[in-house]
Chain A
Amino acid sequence: MMMIGISVAFVLAFTLFPCAALHLRPGKSRTRRDLVNTVTALAVRLVRRHGTATLGVFSALTVLGLAGMSLLSVENRFLDYFKESTEIYQGMVLIDRKLGGTTPLDVIADAPDGGKTRPSPPAAGFVEDPFAAEPGSNGITATSYWFNTAKLDQVDRLHTRLAELPHTGKVLSIATTIRLLRQLKDQDNVDNFFLSVLYESLGGGLRNLLIAPYLSPDGNQFRFAVRIFESDSTLDRDHLLADIRRRLTEEPDIDPEQVHLTGMLVLYNDMLHSLFRSQILTLGVVFAAILLMFAVIFRSLRLALVSILPNLFAAILVLGLMGWLGISLDLMTITIAAISIGIAVDDTIHYVHRTRKEFRRERDYAAAIARSHANIGRALFYTTLTITLGFSILALSSFVPTIYFGLLTGFAMLTALVADLTLLPLLLARLQAFGKPAPAQTG
Chain B
Amino acid sequence: MQTLPARLCLLLVLACCSQAVPAGNTDPEQLMRGATNDILTRLDASPQLTKNRAELIQLIEQEIFPLVDFTRAARLTLGHYWKGAGDKQRKRFISEMRRLLACTYSTAFSNYVGQKVEWLQPRWSADRNYVEIRVRILQNSGSPVPVAYRLWKNNGQWKLYDLVVEGVSLVANYRSTFSQRLQEHDLNALIDELAAHNAQRCGSGG
- Decide if B192 is an interface residue (CB 8 Å cutoff): no
State how many angstroms separate the Cβ of A180 from the closest Cβ of chain B: 8
Inter-subunit contact A192/B173 (CB<8 Å): yes
Inter-subunit contact A142/B172 (CB<8 Å): yes
State how many angstroms separate the Cβ of A424 from the closest Cβ of chain B: 77
Inter-subunit contact B145/A122 (CB<8 Å): no
Complex interface: chain A residues within 8 A of B165 (CB): 193, 197, 200-201
Measured in the bound complex, the distance between the Cα atoms of B162 and A329 in whole Å is 66
Inter-subunit contact B200/A134 (CB<8 Å): no
Inter-subunit contact B5/A124 (CB<8 Å): no
Inter-subunit contact B173/A188 (CB<8 Å): no
Complex interface: chain A residues within 8 A of B172 (CB): 121, 124, 132, 137-139, 142
B contacts with A, residue count (CB < 8 A): 50
Count how many pairs of residues, one from A and one from B, have CB atoms less than 8 Å apart in the complex: 145
Q: Which of A134, A186, A198 contacts B107 (CB 8 A)?
A: A186
Measured in the bound complex, the distance between the Cα atoms of B9 and A185 in whole Å is 15
Answer whether A189 and B6 are a contact pair too, CB < 8 Å, given A137-B168, A141-B176, A197-B166: yes
Q: Which of A119, A148, A189, A203 contacts B177 (CB 8 A)?
A: A148
Inter-subunit contact B173/A141 (CB<8 Å): yes
Give the size category of A's interface with B.
Answer: 35 or more
Question: Which residues between 116 and 173 of chain A lie within 8 Å of chain B, taking CB atoms?
Answer: 119, 121-127, 129-132, 134, 136-139, 141-142, 148-150
Inter-subunit contact B176/A192 (CB<8 Å): yes
Q: Which chain A residue has the least Cβ–Cβ distance from B125? A: A130
Question: Which residues between 71 and 85 of chain B lie within 8 Å of chain A, taking CB atoms?
Answer: 72, 75-76, 78-83
State how many angstroms separate the Cβ of B29 from the closest Cβ of chain A: 16
Measured in the bound complex, the distance between the Cα atoms of B141 and A206 in whole Å is 14
Measured in the bound complex, the distance between the Cα atoms of B180 and A142 in whole Å is 9
State how many angstroms separate the Cβ of B165 from the closest Cβ of chain A: 5
- Decide if A196 is an interface residue (CB 8 Å cutoff): yes
Q: Which of A122, A124, A141, A201 contacts B4 (CB 8 A)?
A: A201
Complex interface: chain A residues within 8 A of B180 (CB): 119, 148, 150
Measured in the bound complex, the distance between the Cα atoms of B2 and A187 in whole Å is 10
Inter-subunit contact B80/A123 (CB<8 Å): yes
Complex interface: chain A residues within 8 A of B175 (CB): 121-122, 124, 138
Measured in the bound complex, the distance between the Cα atoms of B134 and A131 in whole Å is 13
Measured in the bound complex, the distance between the Cα atoms of B1 and A197 in whole Å is 11
Inter-subunit contact B166/A200 (CB<8 Å): yes
- Decide if A194 is an interface residue (CB 8 Å cutoff): yes
Measured in the bound complex, the distance between the Cα atoms of B174 and A206 in whole Å is 25
Measured in the bound complex, the distance between the Cα atoms of B169 and A136 in whole Å is 9
- Decide if B188 is an interface residue (CB 8 Å cutoff): no
Complex interface: chain A residues within 8 A of B3 (CB): 185
Measured in the bound complex, the distance between the Cα atoms of B145 and A202 in whole Å is 10
- Decide if A393 is an interface residue (CB 8 Å cutoff): no
Answer whether A196 and B173 are a contact pair too, CB < 8 Å, given A122-B79, A134-B167, A188-B201: yes
Inter-subunit contact A127/B76 (CB<8 Å): yes
Inter-subunit contact B2/A185 (CB<8 Å): yes
- Decide if A184 is an interface residue (CB 8 Å cutoff): yes
- Decide if A288 is an interface residue (CB 8 Å cutoff): no
Inter-subunit contact A125/B83 (CB<8 Å): yes
Q: Which chain B residue has the least Cβ–Cβ distance from A183? A: B2
Inter-subunit contact A125/B80 (CB<8 Å): yes
State how many angstroms separate the Cβ of B9 from the closest Cβ of chain A: 9
Measured in the bound complex, the distance between the Cα atoms of B176 and A123 in whole Å is 9
Answer whether A192 and B174 are a contact pair too, CB < 8 Å, given A134-B169, A197-B168, A201-B4: yes
Answer whether A192 and B126 are a contact pair too, CB < 8 Å, given A125-B83, A137-B168, A198-B4: no
Chain B positions 105 through 145: 1 when the CB is less than 8 Å from some CB of chain A, otherwise 0: 00100110000000000010110001010000000000101
Question: Which residues between 172 and 188 of chain B lie within 8 Å of chain A, taking CB atoms?
Answer: 172-177, 179-180, 183
Complex interface: chain A residues within 8 A of B83 (CB): 125-126
Inter-subunit contact B167/A189 (CB<8 Å): no
Inter-subunit contact A188/B166 (CB<8 Å): no
Complex interface: chain A residues within 8 A of B6 (CB): 185, 189
Q: Which chain A residue has the least Cβ–Cβ distance from B126? A: A130
Inter-subunit contact B80/A197 (CB<8 Å): no
Q: Which chain A residue has the least Cβ–Cβ distance from B110? A: A186
State how many angstroms separate the Cβ of B72 from the closest Cβ of chain A: 7
Complex interface: chain B residues within 8 A of A200 (CB): 165-168
Q: Which of B162, B167, B177 contacts A192 (CB 8 A)?
A: B177
Answer whether A188 and B200 are a contact pair too, CB < 8 Å, given A124-B79, A126-B80, A138-B176: yes
Measured in the bound complex, the distance between the Cα atoms of B109 and A102 in whole Å is 44
27 interchain pairs, CB-CB under 8 A: A121-B175, A121-B179, A122-B79, A125-B78, A126-B80, A127-B79, A130-B125, A130-B126, A131-B132, A131-B164, A138-B175, A138-B176, A141-B177, A148-B177, A185-B6, A185-B111, A188-B201, A188-B202, A192-B174, A193-B174, A196-B168, A197-B168, A198-B1, A198-B4, A198-B5, A200-B166, A200-B167
Other A-B contacts than A121-B172, A138-B172, 14 sampled, CB-CB below 8 A, are A121-B176, A130-B126, A131-B169, A134-B169, A138-B173, A150-B180, A188-B201, A189-B5, A192-B177, A197-B165, A197-B168, A200-B166, A201-B1, A201-B165
